[in-house]
Amino acid sequence: MRPLHEILSDRDTISSSMQLTLDEATDAWGIKVERVEIKDVRLPVQLQRAMAAEAEAAREARAKVIAAEGEQKASRALREASEVIGDSPAALQLRYLQTLNTISAEKNSTIVFPLPIDLLTYFVKAQEAVSK
């Protein structure tokens, strides 16, 4: 038995071999086989399923690689953004205002305003001063 890739790529060679065999077998009856063509190769259902499963696994593997590359790029971008924000407190304040703008555009009845952490330190210091 030949491998599938051989059958598909060597159709002409297989056809010629079959023609010679058939011509020799039918020569005694006065029949001349002039041409044999392989038009369609039908695979067993089990082999079709195995090939489909292999192709699906390959597609899933490629999808996972693409997703992982995307996550890697996103994490790099987030790291760079955090470095920029860390270097400039004004950038953090701008991001805070952009977030508030995005929240206000949504049609929610409840809006929660997150307080900057540095604002809380003033309250803690004021409380400590009052306690003394």
DSSP secondary-structure letter at 31? Answer: -
In angstroms, rounded to a whole number, what is the distance separating the alpha carbons of residues 91 and 82?
10
In angstroms, rounded to a whole number, what is the distance separating the alpha carbons of residues 106 and 108?
6
63-73 confidence digits (pLDDT tens):
999 999 999 99
User: Is the overall model pTM greater than 0.85, yes or no?
Assistant: no
Q: Closest by alpha carbon to 35, among 18, 10, 48?
A: 18
Answer yes or no: CATH 3.30.479.30 is held by domain 1-42: yes
What are the distances in angstroms from CA 46 to CA 49, 51, 55, 64?
5, 9, 14, 27
- For residue 97, the model assigns a pLDDT of 83
Tokens matching residue 129: 């001063």
Domain ranges of the chain: 1-42
73-103 confidence digits (pLDDT tens):
999 999 998 888 888 878 878 887 888 788 7
